[in-house]
């Protein structure tokens, strides 16, 4: 060993140099990932949204905004994904100037984290940029003759709806079943029984709305509970499905907001959503306009028994009463169903 120590030492340095280099490079990569994209001149809007409106933004709203005086020369960096995940990412530090979620509680999370001003609802449309309704997606020709949520219980059908605990957006579906029963005169307890009866008929509760649609198109179930805009998007994508809008169903309200640190351009972009031009683009993409005067009633018939989440006290209350994972009514229904299955 000692006789060739000189050569060995040379080798040592080489190897060590390499190892040190590797580690430094590694550290640099990690550090680099952490501190990127902090330059903010206001000419680029970081948009973070739930997954469904991707096409609407990229092909409609963003080019539309860029065609206005305020939007001239403004660029976008887009991020789309599951609503809850996107909200948590922004909470954890992902750069966002403009956010759009499927559920109000995803904005509330950012208010609590100090990322969005608590005055975000103080505008004409209370922070809501698009509406939709919960619809029933059926096989071509509606062979089971599904017209209402009660039909899901009365008829011998299998129902697919996303798991309301993994998919925040699926909570609209649950509240639609609940509210429809209330509208028909059920007591809160009876309405929960209706929810339970529907959940008992689910062969699958996929993890997200997207996955649920895939499962349904792949042959699962007779009925899929889904947003009207999702159903329209599926049809546009060429899927062979139809959808029914029940007389009693819930109005889905999808909120958007700008973050506290966002430049004026993000606010301009948010405001553009509410212009006539912006709302028309949303309607073309399958969403209902939040402006009653603009609502295309041909394409989007207004159900006679339409209700809103406010009828049950708003999302903050509903999230606790229904969807608390330990004590919420729906968690309890899941447990009861689980016990019955054993």
Partner 1 sequence: MSGEAQTVNPVAPPTGKPTRAGIRLPGVGESLNKGLVVTYLGLIVLLPLAAIATKAFEDGFGGFWDAVSSPQAFAALKLTVIASLIVVVINAIMGTLIAWVLVRDEFRGKGFVNSVIDLPFALPTIVASLTLLVVYGKDSPVGINIAFTQTAVVVALLFVTLPFVVRAVQPLLLSLDRDMESAAESLGAGKVRIFWRIIFPNLAPGIATGVALAFARALGEFGSLVLISGNVPFKTEVSSVFIRGQIESDNLVGASAVSVVLLATSLLLLACVTLAQRWGLRHDR
Contact criterion met (CB below 8 Å) for 290 and 130: yes
Which residue in 32, 185, 218, 292 binds partner 1 (CB under 8 A)?
218
Burial of 91 per CB tally in 10 Å (0-12, 13-18, 19+): middle
Asked if 240 is part of the footprint of partner 1 (rule: CB under 8 A), the reply reads no
Geometric angle at alpha carbon 218, from 167 and 193, rounded to 5°:
45
Integer CA distances (angstroms), 51 to 11, 35, 48, 210, 331, in order: 53, 26, 9, 9, 26
Retrieve residue 222's tokens: 């007779």
Considering the complex, what minimum distance in angstroms separates the CB of residue 13 from partner 1?
8
Contact 248, 307 (CB under 8 A): yes
Structure tokens at 296: 């295309």
3-state DSSP assignment of residue 138? strand
Residue among 183, 202, 289, 329 that touches partner 1 (CB under 8 A): 202
CA–CA dist 285, 34 (Å, integer)? 35
Sign of the C-alpha dihedral, residues 243, 247, 249, 250? positive
Judged by CB under 8 A, the chain residues 79 through 98 that form the site for partner 1 are 84, 88
- Candidates 68, 79, 214, 280; binder of partner 1 (CB under 8 A) is 214
Q: Are 138 and 299 in contact (CB under 8 A)?
A: no
Q: Which stretch binds partner 1 (CB under 8 A): 189-197, 215-223, 239-247, 292-300?
A: 215-223
Using the contact rule CB under 8 A, the part of the chain among 65-73, 251-259, 284-292, 330-338 near partner 1 is 330-338
Minimum CB separation from partner 1 for residue 72, in Å?
Answer: 39
**219 makes contact with partner 1 (CB under 8 A):** yes
**Shortest Cβ 254–partner 1 spacing (Å):** 17
| Contact with partner 1 (CB under 8 A) among 58, 70, 144, 207 | 207
Q: Quick check: 34 binds partner 1 (CB under 8 A)? A: no
What is the token pair recorded at 130? Answer: 């698009």
Give the span between the Cα atoms of 287 and 124, in whole angstroms. Answer: 18
Which of 138, 273, 323, 329 touches partner 1 (CB under 8 A)?
323
The whole-angstrom distance between residue 323's C-alpha and the CA centroid of its chain comes to 16
d(CA 222, CA 139) in angstroms, rounded, equals 7
Q: How many whole angstroms separate alpha carbon 143 and alpha carbon 132?
A: 25
Smaller CB separation from partner 1, 42 or 203: 203
Q: Which residue has the tokens 């649609």?
A: 213
Total residues contacting partner 1 by CB under 8 A comes to: 45
H helical segments located in the chain:
5-35, 54-55, 62-66, 83-91, 104-112, 149-154, 170-183, 188-199, 209-217, 228-236, 264-274, 276-284, 314-321, 329-341
| Nearer residue to partner 1 within complex by CB, 64 or 168 | 168
- The answer to whether 33 contacts partner 1 (rule: CB under 8 A) is no
Q: Is 325 in the site for partner 1 (CB under 8 A)?
A: yes
Is 21 a residue that touches partner 1 (CB under 8 A)?
no
Q: Which is nearer to partner 1, 29 or 302 (CB)?
A: 29
Among 60, 168, 179, 255, binds partner 1 (CB under 8 A): 168
- What is the Cα gyration radius of the chain? 25
Nearer to partner 1, 23 or 302 (CB): 23
Residue 165 binds to partner 1 (criterion: CB under 8 A): yes
9 binds partner 1 (CB under 8 A): yes
Stretch that binds partner 1, among 31-39, 127-135, 158-166, 183-191 (CB under 8 A): 158-166
Binding region for partner 1 (CB under 8 A): 8-9, 11-12, 15-16, 19-20, 22-23, 26, 30, 84, 88, 109, 163, 165-168, 202-208, 211, 214-215, 218-220, 323-326, 331, 334-335, 337-339, 341-342
């Amino acid at each position: 060993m000692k006789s060739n120590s000189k050569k060995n030492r040379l080798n040592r340095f080489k190897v060590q140099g390499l190892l040190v280099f590797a580690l430094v490079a590694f550290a640099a990569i990690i550090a680099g990932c952490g501190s990127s994209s902090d330059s903010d001149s206001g000419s680029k809007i970081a948009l973070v949204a739930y997954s469904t409106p991707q096409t609407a933004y990229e092909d409609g709203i963003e080019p539309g905004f860029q065609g206005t005086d305020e939007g001239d020369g403004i660029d976008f960096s887009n991020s789309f994904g599951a609503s809850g995940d996107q909200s948590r990412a922004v909470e954890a530090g992902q750069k966002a100037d403009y956010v759009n979620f499927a559920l109000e509680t995803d904005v509330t999370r950012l208010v609590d984290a100090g990322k969005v001003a608590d005055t975000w609802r103080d505008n004409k449309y209370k922070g809501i940029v698009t509406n939709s309704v919960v619809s029933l997606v059926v096989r071509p020709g509606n062979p089971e003759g599904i017209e209402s949520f009660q039909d899901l219980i009365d008829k011998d059908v299998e129902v697919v709806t996303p798991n309301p605990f993994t998919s925040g957006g699926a909570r609209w579906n649950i509240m639609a079943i609940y509210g429809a029963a209330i509208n028909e005169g059920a007591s809160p307890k009876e309405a929960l029984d209706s929810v339970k009866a529907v959940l008992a008929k689910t062969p699958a509760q996929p993890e997200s709305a997207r996955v649920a649609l895939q499962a349904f198109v792949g042959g699962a179930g007779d009925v899929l509970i889904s947003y009207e805009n999702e159903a329209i998007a599926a049809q546009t994508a060429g899927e062979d499905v139809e959808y029914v809008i029940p007389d009693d169903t819930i109005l889905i309200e999808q909120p958007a907001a700008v973050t506290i640190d966002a430049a004026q351009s993000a606010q301009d972009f948010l405001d553009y959503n509410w212009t006539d031009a912006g709302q028309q683009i949303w309607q073309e993409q399958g969403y209902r306009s939040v402006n009653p005067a603009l609502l295309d009633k041909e394409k989007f018939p207004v159900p006679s028994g339409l209700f809103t989440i406010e009828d049950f006290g708003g999302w903050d209350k509903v999230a606790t009463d229904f969807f608390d994972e330990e004590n919420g009514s729906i968690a309890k229904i899941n447990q009861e169903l689980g016990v019955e299955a054993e």
